[in-house]
Structure 1
Amino acid sequence: MYSGRHVHEAPDRPALIMAGSRETLTYRELDERANRVANYFRAIGLRRTDHIAIFSENTLEMIVTMAAAERCGLYYTPINSFLSVEEAAYIVDDCGARLVVTTAAKFDVANQFPQRCPKVEHWLVVGLDAPAAPFGNFASVVEHYPSTPGEDERLGTPMFYSSGTTGKPKAVKRTLPDVSPSEQLGIEEMGKRLFRMTDGMTFLSTAPLYHSGPQSSISIGLRLGATHIIMERFDTEQFLALIEEFKVTHTMVVPTMFSRVLKLPKEIRDKYDYSSLQAVVHGAAPCPRQVKQDMLDWWGPVIYEYYGGTEANGTCGCTPQEWLANPGTVGKAFFGEIVIRDEDGNDVPPGTPGTIWFRGGNSSFEYLNDPEKTAEAQDSSGTMSKIGDIGYLNEDGYLFLTDRQAFVIISGGVNIYPQEIENLLITHPEVMDAAVFGVPDEDFGEAVKAVIQPLDPDGGTPDLAERLRDFCLEHLARFKCPRTIDFIDEMPRLPTGKLYKRKLRDAYWKETTNA
């Protein structure tokens, strides 16, 4: 989120444009606002390696706050703005945030944080003129601070949350280099080679910036002097219209967005001009082969793919030409060497599925407050790490995914962790046992399915299913709640007590395959 030399070389170039409101910040304006917020951070005593949290929808102030944190050596955690009070408050407390920034649109939820997060010292809200204590108005608080850079700027970095072994989300904490943010970083070269980004491009951002992929693309783009069009929320036809209006050269999407634009009536798809596109990058979830083929047939060889985790321990990339020659692949290793191992830790030959490890990539990450999960992700040599995905390499070194970590559900590009939902469902007085997993969904890729063993053997009724859905909605974000609920007489568990979830899940995927 550091704009560097572009502040001086192209101060009046638009850096950020909100797609709906058309609110705009030039590179000069972004720099001045970020400096004000950064100087406020320093004034209240935030120091290098301290943490802040941001609970916000896509806004300019969200990006300004991240840009300020990157000038002060802070870890900053963008929180999914659709989480419930208890889910979001857990992250605020767990990350050790000293300051929280939220918005008027999210204030009904965020206003309940202070009583749950006693370690937070400072609270700011954007767009609410007279918020109740302890919240202060963002603009009024920071406007008194100078718009010039601090004397000793140090690089800050995001700290995103992933899944934990207990079902609670865990932060992926990467080593924070003690360098000036003005130094050229490896992510710039990665953006150019993997995401096909170019200096001065026009980049269309389609997804929430609390996700690592969208956030990192803006961060890289600002260093390259790009103009970014930020969608407040994804709308299918607006996405196409923006490409034409702004002559968009680059964008990043998830496969669900491909599916949705393909389902638009032909007269709408044919209405807009896409000739400006140079690179459309997708990731975050597997893309169905036919969907990707249809997009390549429509837009031509501009569809690029990447695969990697928030841990940044290794990355794969795939050009359109490589994918056409190896349909279904997520590409070759771009960062780190791929090693496929079986359950006993032995390397397996090409064509044999196993756990995906990366050697020589970034193994210096940790899962905050979870040393066991950190140790599990690394081998004894300290040179290899994994994130738990399953796949295989072909003879030419192209990676194919066959499963995902611990049955993580990827719905519309968003990771949903079943154990968290299972742990909640099992507390319901009418539930004996519960299993949650993803089932095929034409629009989202996967949908959340719950299979319940009711306490009453005859209690598996539509009324109970409705009560369980309402129960989930009380405690979880809507996108995590089961779309459908089925009932079973007895849950398949091994003698050790481990749930044989694959047996349940595979039956639903087999039905789709045979359909």
Structure 2
Amino acid sequence: MVQNPYNIDLDRTPANYQPLTPLTFLERAASVFPQHIAIVHGALRRNYAEFYARSRRLASALAQHGIGRGDTVSALLPNTPTMLECHYGVPMSGAVLHSINTRLDAAIIAFQLDHAMSKLVIVDSEFMPLLQEALKLAKVDPVVIQSVDPEFDGHSAPSDLDDYEEFLANGDPEFAWLMPEDEWDAISINYTSGTTGDPKGVVSHHRGAYLLAQGNALTTSMNKHAVYLWTLPMFHCNGWCFPWTMSAIIGTHVCLRQVRAEPIWALLADEAVTHLCGAPIVMSLLISAPDDIRRALDHQVQFFTAAAPPPEKLLADMQEAGFDVTHLYGLTETYGPAVVNDWHASWSTLPAAEQAALKARQGVRYLPLEGLDVLDPETMIPVPRDGKTMGEVMFRGNVVMKGYFRNPKATQEALAGGWFHSGDLGVMHPDGYVQLKDRSKDIIISGGENISSIEVEEALYRHPAVAVAAVVAMPHEKWGETPCAFVELAPGQQADADKLRAWCRDHLAPYKVPGTFVFMPIPRTSTGKIQKFVLREKVRDLVPV
């Protein structure tokens, strides 16, 4: 093999090569805009110089407790300044950040702590009882540091535990924090929901976090000094990497402990929020708020959503209220959103129904994602670009996870053939836009025909009485499976099974019409995703309506 002449005597040196890491975003923000407000939380205003110093203190204090490269530091925290500091201070010590979903039960938290081999846990006082219950079940015995948030109006915190502010006070604000030895080093571990078995630990690296964080800003055209409201949980895919994005654009984080309509509307207006993220349920929360809570906005707010496609009426209501909604798509394994519904100006002149259909598509790849396609999972050949032929959505590139921690079999399966297999079924439209049709496990097979639960849900969402719809398979003696629809009615609206069944007959092929309708509050995760596994369990006890 002939050696490439451009590689001779042209080696990497400290002068021309540094591992990519999003930690440098905060260092630059603090050196260039030290007085710019980085964090707003209630009455608290903290600038970038303070944010950087506190993150270095945290890294220093962790190092004093023996935390170093490859160790796991867990965080059981809401969207508070402490959680933002963990996204910098923990990896600055060389450790890996493990953000825990605060809605989980003690047994699952215990599993995660053991599997991640956690050495230290930083916990908000609100969740201390939950952590204590989990530690009784866990094998690990981590150091516990308690953070007391002045904005939490709850029970008093136990006084016999190490306090976060005292812990920070012992750290050095000038600490020479650790760059990763390699940009492939882990920066975080996030666990999947584990609905089909034990949760899997998704390992992200510094390079991917650096690229996705910048990709957020570039793909969504976030301006310098944008103001971001934390309605998306930071424990969810590291807040889609926005804790790092905001430092890159010298933006302002507006923290929020609980997602409630009144404080959201107040912060949107009073803090001049420009961006927020959330599931359609957050949009519904905003739009359905009483008039005495809603505020008139003197600027347009960008709302990024990454769950089920929002109903047409909800999109129209959001636009009227001053929001521009952009549909994103991704998974924990892709650092959060890696696909965007990039909007064409010409689409804005189309009828509302056509615009809604276009907005329902997931879209095209983010700038830092190298490959996005819909492939036949058996042959690994791309499906026809006809918007009809279904295949599995697959990803390839630098914003795909390292793999699943301590689970080589699952890693090999997920990355087989040089692509990350998402498990999502979709189609590719002629213009190159991907549209999801279902999770592979959510496809309903009735009489040998595949029924997309999303297609049935979209038909139900078009009915004015339907606020939330979720469709799962119900066993059927003759057909094998038939659709079962769980429905949450909109406030003040009425509908029964016969009316919705008739509506579906007008909008769907006969074999796709649900045989059973159940009217109830739809269970959701803390990030607003519908918990279909809970509904599948409920189906077993149902009698057709």
* Alignment TM-score, normalising by the size of structure 1: 0.73
Residue matched to 1:144? 170
Deviations 1:181-215 (A, max 9, x none): 9xxx3234302222322211111121321112635
The residue type equivalent to 1:158 in the other structure is S
Deviations 1:233-270 (A, max 9, x none): 111233222111111222222211112222234x458x
Asked if 1:371 corresponds to 2:397, the answer is no
Equivalent residues of 1:194, 1:306 under 8 A apart: no
Residue matched to 2:393? 356
Name the SS of the counterpart of 1:48 in structure 2: coil
TM-aligned CA deviation for residue 38 of structure 1 = 0.4
Structure 2 matches for 1:176-187, cutoff 5 A? 176-177=206-207, 185-187=210-212
TM-aligned CA deviation for residue 131 of structure 1 = 4.2
1:344 paired residue among 359, 370, 378 = 378
Equivalent residues of 1:356, 1:391 under 8 A apart: yes
Structure 2 matches for 1:174-323, cutoff 5 A? 174-177=204-207, 185-212=210-237, 214=239, 216-265=241-290, 267-268=291-292, 272-277=295-300, 279-299=302-322, 302-312=324-334, 315-321=338-344
Residue matched to 1:28? 49
TM-aligned CA deviation for residue 8 of structure 1 = 2.5
Residue matched to 1:329? 361
Q: More displaced, 3-12 or 223-232?
A: 3-12
Deviations 1:270-315 (A, max 9, x none): x523232352222144323432243234436x32221111111882
Deviations 1:373-403 (A, max 9, x none): 21221223x2x11221111011111111111
The residue type equivalent to 2:168 in the other structure is V
Residue matched to 1:396? 431
Name the SS of the counterpart of 1:109 in structure 2: helix
TM-aligned CA deviation for residue 319 of structure 1 = 3.5
TM-aligned CA deviation for residue 353 of structure 1 = 1.4
Asked if 1:63 corresponds to 2:84, the answer is yes
Name the SS of the counterpart of 1:139 in structure 2: helix
Equivalent residues of 1:259, 1:443 under 8 A apart: no
Residue matched to 2:502? none
Provide closer, same or farther for how the CA distance between residues 488 and 320 of structure 1 changes in structure 2, counting only shifts above 3 A: same
Name the SS of the counterpart of 2:79 in structure 1: coil
Structure 2 matches for 1:400-415, cutoff 5 A? 400-404=435-439, 406-407=441-442
Structure 2 matches for 1:123-138, cutoff 5 A? 123-127=144-148, 131-132=159-160, 135-138=161-164
| CA distance in structure 1 between the partners assigned to 2:133 and 2:75 by the alignment | 15
| CA distance in structure 2 between the partners assigned to 1:385 and 1:137 by the alignment | 42
* Alignment TM-score, normalising by the size of structure 2: 0.69
The residue type equivalent to 2:333 in the other structure is E
The residue type equivalent to 1:230 in the other structure is C
| CA distance in structure 1 between the partners assigned to 2:437 and 2:258 by the alignment | 31
TM-aligned CA deviation for residue 357 of structure 1 = 1.2
Deviations 1:95-123 (A, max 9, x none): 11111111221111112343333334422
Q: More displaced, 75-84 or 154-163?
A: 154-163
Equivalent residues of 1:207, 1:231 under 8 A apart: no
Provide closer, same or farther for how the CA distance between residues 389 and 215 of structure 1 changes in structure 2, counting only shifts above 3 A: closer
Equivalent residues of 1:339, 1:357 under 8 A apart: yes
Q: Which runs of 5+ in 2 are unaligned?
A: 1-21, 149-155, 349-354, 444-452, 455-469, 473-482, 492-529
| CA distance in structure 1 between the partners assigned to 2:532 and 2:73 by the alignment | 25
| CA distance in structure 2 between the partners assigned to 1:264 and 1:484 by the alignment | 31
Residue matched to 2:191? 161
Provide closer, same or farther for how the CA distance between residues 363 and 144 of structure 1 changes in structure 2, counting only shifts above 3 A: closer
Name the SS of the counterpart of 1:196 in structure 2: coil
The residue type equivalent to 1:192 in the other structure is A
| CA distance in structure 1 between the partners assigned to 2:373 and 2:536 by the alignment | 37
The residue type equivalent to 2:331 in the other structure is G
Equivalent residues of 1:260, 1:443 under 8 A apart: no
The residue type equivalent to 2:223 in the other structure is T
Name the SS of the counterpart of 1:112 in structure 2: helix
Name the SS of the counterpart of 1:42 in structure 2: helix
Deviations 1:143-174 (A, max 9, x none): 12211132544476221111448522111113
Q: More displaced, 44-53 or 479-488?
A: 479-488
Equivalent residues of 1:303, 1:320 under 8 A apart: no
Provide closer, same or farther for how the CA distance between residues 187 and 318 of structure 1 changes in structure 2, counting only shifts above 3 A: same
Residue matched to 1:80? 101
Residue matched to 2:153? none
2:69 paired residue among 48, 53, 65 = 48
The residue type equivalent to 1:244 in the other structure is A
